[in-house]
């Protein structure tokens, strides 16, 4: 499914987004829009070089070992079926890799941080180290982890700039998250970022 074209400008200054950013753990169940999902995925890993391949976040050697997945709940994003979707930066599209609302399973795998099951969207950042270790060896693992931090902050600031809120979760059991997602074990989950409207 092709995503709407992302905006390249907005009303909230970068300074304000940085100033206001906080890790939020309580979200409203108000649905998000496909435009908001598109914008978040673009901020995370979208291609920002016209006609090229370079992305929104820096990557050692421009080797891009990260993948982004969207865990979408029932009635969480207008017009979208619940499930887990994989983001494809090359054509700014998503594809369904697993049906059903898997948010509770992701929350269970995240040491029972059950607030994640009530967040409309959980973005999962994974790394495939083989893409970067060919050039950098073991040090490539360090580079991929640093890159995940850049992607995470982009998601945080983009959410803030759109009037949304985000959380960040590193406490989870890797094998359980991999199983819930149904992805290859060579893809290591590094961060889960719940996104939605802040709860009252
Ligand atoms: C790598 C990493 C892992 C984190 N894991 C969790 C987590 O599993 N659950 C959680 O509620 N917060 C988690 N946090 C959020 C921190 O608790 C939070 O960033 C910190 O308290 C500072 O607050 P702030 O982000 O609102 O400025 C994590 C943050 C980072 C950077």
Assign 123 a pLDDT band (cuts: 50, 70, 90). very high
Q: Hey, whose CA ends up nearest to atom 1 of ligand 1?
A: 170
Structure tokens at 64: 């891009």
**Which tens digits make up the pLDDT trace of 61-75?**
999 999 999 999 999
> Which residues on neighbouring strands pair with residue 125, listed in sequence order?
68, 191
Which of 166, 169, 188, 193, when mutated, tests ligand 1's pocket best, judged by the most ligand atoms within 8 Å of its CB?
A: 169
Query: In the chain, which ranges are E strands?
Result: 66-72, 83-88, 93-99, 121-128, 165-166, 187-196
pLDDT band with cut points at 50, 70 and 90 for residue 152? very high
Q: What radius of gyration do the chain's Cα atoms show? A: 16
The pLDDT confidence band at residue 39, using thresholds 50, 70 and 90, is very high
Question: How close is the Cα of 166 to the center of ligand 1, in Å?
Answer: 11
CA distance 42 to 5: 9
Q: How far is CA 123 from the centre of its chain?
A: 3
- The Cα 91–Cα 151 span in angstroms is 19
pTM above 0.95, yes or no: yes
Residue to substitute in 18, 21, 23 for testing ligand 1 pocket (most ligand atoms within 8 angstroms of CB): 23
In sequence order, what DSSP letters do the residues of 45-63 get, joined into one string?
H-B-STTS--BSS--GGG-
């Amino acid at each position: 499914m092709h995503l709407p074209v992302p905006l390249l400008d907005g009303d909230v200054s970068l300074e304000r987004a940085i100033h206001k950013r906080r890790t939020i753990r309580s979200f409203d169940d108000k649905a998000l829009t496909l435009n908001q999902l598109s914008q978040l995925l673009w901020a995370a890993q979208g291609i920002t070089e016209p006609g090229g391949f370079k992305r929104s976040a820096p990557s050692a050697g421009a080797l891009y070992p990260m993948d982004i997945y969207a865990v979408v709940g029932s009635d969480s994003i207008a017009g979208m079926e619940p499930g887990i979707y994989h983001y494809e930066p090359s054509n700014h599209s998503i594809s369904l890799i697993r049906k059903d609302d898997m948010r509770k399973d992701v929350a269970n795998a995240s040491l029972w941080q059950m607030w994640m099951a009530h967040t409309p969207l959980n973005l999962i950042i994974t790394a495939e180290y083989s893409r970067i270790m060919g050039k950098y060896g073991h040090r490539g693992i360090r580079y991929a982890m640093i890159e995940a931090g850049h992607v995470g902050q982009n998601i945080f600031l983009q959410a803030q700039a759109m009037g949304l809120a985000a959380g960040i979760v590193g406490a989870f059991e890797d094998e359980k998250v991999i199983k819930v997602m149904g992805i290859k074990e060579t893809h290591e989950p590094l961060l889960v970022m719940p996104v939605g409207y802040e709860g009252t």
